[in-house]
Amino acid sequence: MTHIKLAPDVEFKMDINLDNITENSRDYDVQQHKAEIIQEFEKRLSQVFPEGFKIDRMDFAMDKQH
């Protein structure tokens, strides 16, 4: 088996229900839910990459272009 390390600069979009967050919320409001967002994101990634993954940095913002 070959092990590969890939470190792209990638942007993801994720639909997630967060308390008190609407399409009119500010990025700061979304960032207050960091723990919930990371938990859901890692849950989804682990289903796709069961071998493992490492996240060095995350930025949170509202997707205003949907």
For residue range 43-55, what is the model confidence (pLDDT) as tens digits?
999 999 899 888 8
Is the model's pLDDT at 25 over the cut of 60? yes
Mean of pLDDT values over 33-41: 90
Domain positions in the chain? 1-66
Give percent above pLDDT 70 in the chain: 97
Q: What is the DSSP string of the chain?
A: ------------------TT--TT--HHHHHTTHHHHHHHHHHHHHHH-TT---------------
What per-residue confidence (pLDDT) applies to 66? 56
| Mean pLDDT in residue range 29-57 | 89
What pLDDT score was predicted for residue 55? 81
Q: pTM (2 decimals)?
A: 0.71
Closest CA to 30 of 40, 46, 16, 11: 16
Cβ-contact 31, 60 below 8 angstroms: yes
